[in-house]
A and B are shown apart, each in its own frame.
Chain A
Amino acid sequence: MTKYNIWFFSSLFIALIVSLPIITVFFSFFNETSNYFTLLKSTFLLDYIFNSMIILFFVILVTFILGVLSAYFVSFYEFPFSNFFSWTLILAFAVPGYIYAFSLIAFFENYGTAFSILTYLFGENNYNPIIPKIDGIVGAILAISFSLFPYVYVLTRASFHYQSNNYIEVGKNLGLSTKESFFKIILPSARPAIIAGLALVSMECLSDFGTVSFFSVNTLTTGIYNSWLSFDDLNTANQISFILLLFILLLFSIEIYSRKDARYHQPGRGFKPIIKIKLKGKKSIIPITVCSLILFLSFLFPVSQMIYWTIKFPKYLHDINILNININTLILVLLASASIVIVSLFINYGSRISKSKILNYLTNFLISGYAIPGVILAVAFITFFSNLSDLASYNLNFKSTKGIFIGSILGLILAYFIRFFSLSFNGIKSSYEKINNSIDESAYLLGYSKIKTFLKIHIPYLKTNIILIMLLISLEVIKELPITLILRPFNFETFATQAYIYASQDLLEAAALPSLFLIFWSTVLILLSSRYILSKKN
């Protein structure tokens, strides 16, 4: 029997808010679009889908190789610096794809950094023809892959960590070579984790906006943006969104499904931790080379390009109001992470004490926000609130409310809320489920009130997890581009928007400083959270 109490209605309310973009997109799917560009659009649409799929395919391939290979080396072998690599390889998360893209162009363009290096080393000459031009689709694939491969790395590494040494021993007894046991035993048993990682990569890849738009590659996301902007056609934008959402929801189900599968690979009885094989001398050359190369390409390369620029063009050090941007970022990070975590605690607690099935189904809706690309979310957000306000002022003579939600901090936080709520809700849910219900019962028997149980028993237990989630949300907010770009208020920049705007104005060298700050804060957050990420079972 479901009780229609405060928990039910507040969960319903939050679920509605989070699903606003999906609902908006879904309803406008059936609206008519303008005929004028029908032909043009139909040719473009195929182009968009084709490009999205090509990028997706190669990003999956590259992140698979990078992620699995590096996870394999640091999990099964001990070689010089293997511990160092095991945590520095996650730092690639600190460099968003669009910033990686800036570095690629800066380095490889005619008379770019590569040209300067060659001139410095070998004297003046026209090196431009021999420098490969990495841009367009190839550039997008590389930039997205290097910024996303840590998903595969982290999940695969966790799965390797909990693989029992027994299997490997059985393999050895059966006479399998190292290569055979990798392909026949290690890889298959880590499959669910790898697939989960790749599904996350694919979702992020399909929703990427900054990178592909910087390289002028037309994909489904830039298609949404363009048809909204150039063709003045919100309905087409929403229809392309719908196609994109179908893809992403498919990936989302794959991810959830493989995670369920992954649970069967948790350590059971007879679990033996992996005995790392020690590699010395010549044998350690390959893993060291591979790991250093990945670390260099994914993190050190973009960071050094940005540092080089900041030094080479010091003018921008005092032109850019960095203090202001730091404060803006701090405000967004604090408001977003606090509100998201508080509400997810509230909803989780409600669903725990009311034990309602409907509530459980309802909370499943809450995850939808994360599956929606930021561009779609921002477009749908504006559509929804401007329609709502028009409706209210037309029918009820309300004063317009657009200013409250569009172009305000409140609107921005609300959009972040929709986007990142599932991250926090599910994180807290998974550790809440580990607190046995009998603990609550005992607390009540001891005379604890519900609130006291929550504050004195649940919160201390959930504390580390709450900190981790706040760190992760902060990381996402700092790196977030399209929502902030479209919804931000007057005189308000974040590192991401400042860097992107300079870059789109052909001032890549000015984009270096905000990019560096973005990477710096992200790195701090990653280092703070890495001990949780690397030790967490999921």
Chain B
Amino acid sequence: MFISYLILIAFTSSLLANEVNIFSARHYDSDVQLYEKFTAKTGIKVNVVSGKSGALEKRIIEEGADSKADLYITADAGRLGAFEANLQGGLTSPAIKSVVPSNFRTSKWTGIAKRARIIYFAPERVSGSELSGLTYESLADPKWKGRLVIRASNNIYNQSLVASLIKNNGKGKVAEWSKGVVSNMARSPKGNDRAQILAVAAGEADIAVANTYYLALMLSGKKGSEQQAAAKKVKPFFPNQDGRGTHMNISGAGLVKGAPNKANAIKLVEFLLSEEAQNHIVNNTFEYPMIKSVSPHPLVVNMGLDFKQDLKTKVVNYGKRQADALEVMTAAGWK
């Protein structure tokens, strides 16, 4: 009896009209609050399956034409790029195009918020002259031997960073670079970005590579007073300022092929790019806003806003060069 009841539920739920279905690898509670605001405004119900990006992507692929997924939301352009074959064009409405710089979108997906992958250093142990002119490329310099921490090669942020290096310098050079970076590591890669910053604060290493919002998150006290104090011991440094600029990445949304609620999906993305939503995002996740009219959280502003962003390397390359990136890192013994 209950089986037929469940089947009934399965069918009827797919027939309900006014909704949008999200597969999200970003599951901040602040995102859920945003979806609630969207529903209150439009009457469109937002359904979410959250999970790790890989598993979500696979489920969309296996479900194929039957997938109820409308939007795929994830925190890296490399992920969206690698998933392009399962996304469809037509997401970027004129409203979206007018606010998102072309560098951060394709017709299938668009950035919602930005982050930079930067260097953190311990001012007590790293001098200004050592830092001046620092680039991602020069992280392979032997002067950093035993002083650098960075997370594992299976991490998508690293894959995207290395992909952008390959796009700019060629695979061969980056293969050499990877070996240099591995030999400079203060410890075998472990932990997340925050753990890398804490390692510098704790004196395990002198410099770390991590995304911008982590430092602001710790400074905000949301991670407890110990981490707040620890975060004050490290300083951010924006690399490649004399060249193409600092590596930028996005949190973004892609329109899934065969999305049953395409119009609602576009509406939701337009809402996420509205001033109201952007303010909500930057104040909760400490990312950079996608649209110009909104200012980042004050803690992020304090880290410095006048740095040169790499707008030359299109984020679409992160997906295209991902396999090469993983290959050179693995070959270099980057765990």
**Which A positions have Cβ atoms within 8 angstroms of B?**
40, 43, 109-112, 115-116, 119, 126, 128-129, 135-136, 216, 225-226, 228-230, 312-313, 315, 319-320, 335, 382-383, 386, 389-390, 400, 402-404, 406-410, 413, 485-486, 488-493, 497, 501-502, 504-506, 509-510
A386-B64 CB under 8 A given contacts A110-B230, A135-B190: yes
> Are B48 and A491 neighbours in the complex by a CB distance under 8 Å?
yes
> Are B66 and A400 neighbours in the complex by a CB distance under 8 Å?
yes
Q: Taking the complex as formed, is B58 at the interface, i.e. its CB lies under 8 A from any CB of chain A?
A: yes
Given A111-B201, A505-B27, 17 more pairs with CB closer than 8 A: A110-B230, A226-B54, A226-B154, A228-B58, A382-B62, A386-B62, A400-B65, A403-B11, A403-B66, A406-B63, A407-B63, A413-B6, A485-B55, A486-B59, A489-B49, A490-B48, A506-B192
Q: Taking the complex as formed, is B68 at the interface, i.e. its CB lies under 8 A from any CB of chain A?
A: yes
Which residue of chain B has its CB nearest to the CB of A507? B28
**Chain B residues whose CB sits within 8 angstroms of the CB of A488 once the complex forms:** 49
**Chain A residues whose CB sits within 8 angstroms of the CB of B9 once the complex forms:** 409
Q: Taking the complex as formed, is B102 at the interface, i.e. its CB lies under 8 A from any CB of chain A?
A: no
A sample of 13 cross-chain residue pairs with beta-carbon separation below 8 angstroms, ordered by A number, consists of A116-B226, A128-B202, A216-B154, A312-B224, A402-B66, A403-B11, A406-B62, A407-B59, A407-B68, A410-B10, A486-B59, A489-B49, A490-B48
User: Chain A interface mostly helix, strand, loop or mixed?
Assistant: helix
> Are A229 and B58 neighbours in the complex by a CB distance under 8 Å?
yes
Mark B195-210 against chain A: 1 for CB-CB distance below 8 A, else 0.
1001101111000000
Docked pose: A346 CA to B203 CA in angstroms: 64
Docked pose: A320 CA to B57 CA in angstroms: 25
What distance in Å separates the Cβ of B18 from its nearest Cβ neighbour in chain A?
15
Docked pose: A501 CA to B25 CA in angstroms: 9
A402-B49 CB under 8 A given contacts A128-B203, A216-B154, A228-B58: no
Which residue of chain A has its CB nearest to the CB of B322? A230
A410-B6 CB under 8 A given contacts A491-B47, A505-B27: yes
Q: Taking the complex as formed, is B152 at the interface, i.e. its CB lies under 8 A from any CB of chain A?
A: yes
Q: Taking the complex as formed, is B17 at the interface, i.e. its CB lies under 8 A from any CB of chain A?
A: no
**Chain A residues whose CB sits within 8 angstroms of the CB of B201 once the complex forms:** 110-111
The 7 closest A-B pairs by CB, nearest first: A229-B54, A128-B202, A110-B198, A110-B202, A490-B47, A410-B6, A111-B226
Docked pose: A229 CA to B154 CA in angstroms: 12
Which residue of chain A has its CB nearest to the CB of B30? A319
> Are B198 and A410 neighbours in the complex by a CB distance under 8 Å?
no
> Are B190 and A216 neighbours in the complex by a CB distance under 8 Å?
yes
Looking at the complex, which one of A119, A410, A504 makes contact with B7 (CB distance below 8 Å)?
A: A410
A216-B49 CB under 8 A given contacts A110-B198, A228-B58: no
We find that the number of chain B residues with CB closer than 8 angstroms to chain A is 55
Mark B5-35 against chain A: 1 for CB-CB distance below 8 A, else 0.
0110111001000000100001111000000
> Are B191 and A490 neighbours in the complex by a CB distance under 8 Å?
no
**Chain A residues whose CB sits within 8 angstroms of the CB of B199 once the complex forms:** 110
> Are B59 and A382 neighbours in the complex by a CB distance under 8 Å?
yes
Which residue of chain A has its CB nearest to the CB of B188? A136
Q: Taking the complex as formed, is B52 at the interface, i.e. its CB lies under 8 A from any CB of chain A?
A: yes
**Chain A residues whose CB sits within 8 angstroms of the CB of B66 once the complex forms:** 389, 400, 402-403
Docked pose: A116 CA to B224 CA in angstroms: 10
**Chain A residues whose CB sits within 8 angstroms of the CB of B29 once the complex forms:** 319-320, 510
Docked pose: A504 CA to B204 CA in angstroms: 23
**Chain A residues whose CB sits within 8 angstroms of the CB of B224 once the complex forms:** 312-313, 509
Docked pose: A410 CA to B4 CA in angstroms: 10
Q: Taking the complex as formed, is B298 at the interface, i.e. its CB lies under 8 A from any CB of chain A?
A: no
Docked pose: A497 CA to B49 CA in angstroms: 11
Looking at the complex, which one of A40, A110, A505 makes contact with B195 (CB distance below 8 Å)?
A: A110
Q: Taking the complex as formed, is B292 at the interface, i.e. its CB lies under 8 A from any CB of chain A?
A: no
**Chain A residues whose CB sits within 8 angstroms of the CB of B62 once the complex forms:** 382-383, 386, 402, 406
**Chain B residues whose CB sits within 8 angstroms of the CB of A216 once the complex forms:** 152, 154, 190
A229-B55 CB under 8 A given contacts A216-B154, A410-B3: yes
Q: Taking the complex as formed, is B327 at the interface, i.e. its CB lies under 8 A from any CB of chain A?
A: yes
Docked pose: A501 CA to B49 CA in angstroms: 11
**Chain A residues whose CB sits within 8 angstroms of the CB of B50 once the complex forms:** 493, 501
**Chain B residues whose CB sits within 8 angstroms of the CB of A410 once the complex forms:** 3, 6-7, 10
**Chain A residues whose CB sits within 8 angstroms of the CB of B152 once the complex forms:** 216
> Are B49 and A490 neighbours in the complex by a CB distance under 8 Å?
yes
Docked pose: A38 CA to B26 CA in angstroms: 32
> Are A230 and B54 neighbours in the complex by a CB distance under 8 Å?
yes
What distance in Å separates the Cβ of A315 from its nearest Cβ neighbour in chain B?
8
Q: Taking the complex as formed, is B297 at the interface, i.e. its CB lies under 8 A from any CB of chain A?
A: no
**Chain A residues whose CB sits within 8 angstroms of the CB of B28 once the complex forms:** 505
Looking at the complex, which one of A128, A228, A485 makes contact with B51 (CB distance below 8 Å)?
A: A485
**Chain A residues whose CB sits within 8 angstroms of the CB of B193 once the complex forms:** 506
> Are A135 and B191 neighbours in the complex by a CB distance under 8 Å?
yes
Docked pose: A229 CA to B14 CA in angstroms: 27
Which residue of chain A has its CB nearest to the CB of B233? A126
> Are A490 and B21 neighbours in the complex by a CB distance under 8 Å?
yes
**Chain A residues whose CB sits within 8 angstroms of the CB of B59 once the complex forms:** 382, 406-407, 486
> Are B203 and A126 neighbours in the complex by a CB distance under 8 Å?
yes
> Are A501 and B27 neighbours in the complex by a CB distance under 8 Å?
yes
Docked pose: A136 CA to B51 CA in angstroms: 22
Which residue of chain A has its CB nearest to the CB of B49? A490
What distance in Å separates the Cβ of B105 from its nearest Cβ neighbour in chain A?
24
What distance in Å separates the Cβ of A25 from its nearest Cβ neighbour in chain B?
16
What distance in Å separates the Cβ of B185 from its nearest Cβ neighbour in chain A?
14
Docked pose: A110 CA to B62 CA in angstroms: 41
**Chain A residues whose CB sits within 8 angstroms of the CB of B6 once the complex forms:** 408-410, 413
What distance in Å separates the Cβ of A236 from its nearest Cβ neighbour in chain B?
14
Q: Taking the complex as formed, is B330 at the interface, i.e. its CB lies under 8 A from any CB of chain A?
A: yes
Q: Taking the complex as formed, is B223 at the interface, i.e. its CB lies under 8 A from any CB of chain A?
A: yes
What distance in Å separates the Cβ of B248 from its nearest Cβ neighbour in chain A?
20
What distance in Å separates the Cβ of B64 from its nearest Cβ neighbour in chain A?
7
**Chain B residues whose CB sits within 8 angstroms of the CB of A226 once the complex forms:** 54, 154
What distance in Å separates the Cβ of B220 from its nearest Cβ neighbour in chain A?
12
Docked pose: A99 CA to B86 CA in angstroms: 34
Most buried by A among B14, B29, B59, B204: B29
Docked pose: A119 CA to B224 CA in angstroms: 14
Docked pose: A181 CA to B253 CA in angstroms: 68
Mark B38-60 against chain A: 1 for CB-CB distance below 8 A, else 0.
00000000011111101101110
Most buried by A among B2, B9, B50, B57: B50
Docked pose: A315 CA to B33 CA in angstroms: 14
Docked pose: A316 CA to B107 CA in angstroms: 37
Which residue of chain A has its CB nearest to the CB of B197? A110
> Are B202 and A129 neighbours in the complex by a CB distance under 8 Å?
yes
